[in-house]
C-alpha cells in the first residue's frame, strides 16, 4: 500500500508477540463531510520481539451511504480494484485458498526518498445473512509470497465491515492496526490523517456506485 494510504487506511497491527509493548497513545477523532464520515486514529510506539522500536498506527473509519450491499461485496472480492482505493501501485490475488479465503499482494511505489514496499496478507470473507453484514479481514502473512528487493509489511491487520441498513443504505466501517515497513518521519505519518482514510472511503463509495 502507499504511504498515503498506509499512513491512514493502513491500519491494523495485531500484537503477535507478548514482547510487544505499546507506549502512551496520541489519539484524535475527526468528523468530515458534515459529520457523515468519522475518523478516529491513534499513534504510539511499541517494541517488537527483537527489541526494535516501531510506530503503531491504529485507526477506525465509518460512514453510511446509499449503496448496493451486494456490490460492496463484489468490489472487495475484486482484489485488482483494491489499488483504486488503497492507493497502492498493484493489488492482486496470488493464491486462491477457497471461495472465501485468498492470499493477496499489494505493492507500493513510495515517493522518494522513501523505499518502495509491499504487503502480503490473508483475506477472509464472512457473511451473516441474518445480521445483514459482510466482513473482510486482512492479516499480514509475509512469508506467503516471494520477496523482492523491497521492504515488506509484517504488522498489518484491517477489518472492513459492511452492514445492510435497508432502504438502499449501507454502513461501512474499517478498523486497522499497522506499522510502516519503512522509516517514515512522524510528522509525515500524522499529515496523512484524517485525509487518507477519508479519501479511501470516498473512493470505495464511488467505485460501488459505478
Tens digits of residue pLDDT in 147-183 = 999 999 999 999 999 999 999 999 999 999 999 998 8
Q: How far apart are CA 56 and CA 82, in angstroms?
A: 23
pLDDT tens digit string along 95-152? 999 999 999 999 999 888 888 999 999 999 999 999 999 999 999 999 999 999 999 9
Q: Please say if the pLDDT value at position 1 is more than 80.
A: no
Binning the chain into helix, strand and coil, the percentages to the nearest 5 are: 20, 45, 35
Using the structure block, give the residue that is written with the C-alpha cell 512469508. Answer: 143
Q: Which domain holds residue 179?
A: 3-209
Q: How many domains is the chain partitioned into structurally?
A: 1
Grid cell listed for 149: 528487493
As a whole number, the mean pLDDT across the chain is 90
CATH number of the domain encompassing residue 113:
3.30.530.20
DSSP state of 18: T
Amino acid 161: pLDDT: 98
Amino acid at each position: 500500500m502507499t504511504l498515503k494510504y498506509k499512513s491512514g487506511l493502513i491500519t491494523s497491527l495485531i500484537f503477535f508477540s507478548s514482547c510487544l509493548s505499546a507506549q502512551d497513545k496520541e489519539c484524535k477523532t475527526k468528523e468530515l463531510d458534515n459529520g457523515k464520515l468519522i475518523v478516529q486514529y491513534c499513534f504510539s510506539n511499541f517494541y517488537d520481539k527483537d527489541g526494535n522500536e516501531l510506530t503503531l498506527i491504529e485507526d477506525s473509519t465509518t460512514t453510511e451511504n446509499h449503496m448496493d450491499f451486494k456490490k460492496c461485496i463484489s468490489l472487495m472480492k475484486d482484489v485488482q480494484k483494491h489499488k483504486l482505493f488503497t492507493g497502492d501501485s498493484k493489488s492482486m490475488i496470488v493464491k486462491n485458498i477457497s471461495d472465501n479465503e485468498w492470499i493477496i499482494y499489494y505493492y507500493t511505489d513510495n515517493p522518494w526518498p522513501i523505499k518502495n514496499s509491499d504487503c502480503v496478507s490473508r483475506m477472509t470473507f464472512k457473511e451473516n445473512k441474518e445480521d445483514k453484514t459482510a466482513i473482510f479481514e486482512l492479516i499480514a502473512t509475509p512469508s506467503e509470497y516471494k520477496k523482492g528487493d523491497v521492504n515488506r509489511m509484517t504488522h498489518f491487520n484491517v477489518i472492513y465491515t459492511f452492514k445492510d441498513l435497508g432502504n438502499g443504505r449501507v454502513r461501512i466501517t474499517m478498523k486497522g492496526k499497522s506499522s510502516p515497513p519503512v522509516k517514515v518521519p512522524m510528522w509525515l505519518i500524522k499529515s496523512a490523517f484524517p485525509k487518507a482514510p477519508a479519501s479511501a472511503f470516498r473512493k470505495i463509495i464511488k467505485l460501488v456506485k459505478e
